[in-house]
Amino acid sequence: MTTFYLLPPRTAFHEQFAQFIESWMPDFSWRESVAADLVEILTSYLSHQGDCFLIFREDLPDGIATDESLREFFGASAGDRVIEVHLGAGSGTPTQRFRTLAGMSAA
């Protein structure tokens, strides 16, 4: 079973992480390159955990359903786990939705 972490766009992820860091480390000089490094570190970490993938919303093509995109472009299959993270409107608080991909229906 593979796990796909489907995150908001990178810009939203970067902003959320910057707020977190700045709350712990006031006057920290946050740069976009730090955020890019963080994504690379997380991706590397997940690759060592087995079948885990970090996918940002903008990595999915427009006009194609999420599950179909995961299957077609990322190799997802029935039984794989999808953890979708969304940011709450206004609050920006992350919420998660856990689900398992169903099998493909016959055409």
Chain segment 20-77, per-residue pLDDT in tens: 888 888 887 777 778 778 888 888 888 787 789 999 999 999 999 999 999 999 999 9
Whether residue 107 is contained in a domain is answered as: no
Q: What is the pLDDT of residues 43-58, one digit of tens each?
A: 888 878 778 999 999 9
- Determine which helix (DSSP H) or strand (DSSP E) holds 82, and give its type and residue range: strand 81-87
This prediction's pTM:
0.81
> Rounded to an integer, what is the distance from CA 16 to the centroid of its chain?
13
**47-51: long-range pairs with CB below 8 Å, 24+:** 51/1, 51/2, 51/3
Domain count, the chain: 1
Task: Work out whether the CA dihedral 26, 31, 32, 36 comes out positive or negative.
Answer: negative
Whether residue 106 is contained in a domain is answered as: no
Domain residues for 60?
3-24+31-100
Whether residue 47 is contained in a domain is answered as: yes
Whether residue 17 is contained in a domain is answered as: yes
Whether residue 73 is contained in a domain is answered as: yes
Whether residue 88 is contained in a domain is answered as: yes
Whether residue 91 is contained in a domain is answered as: yes
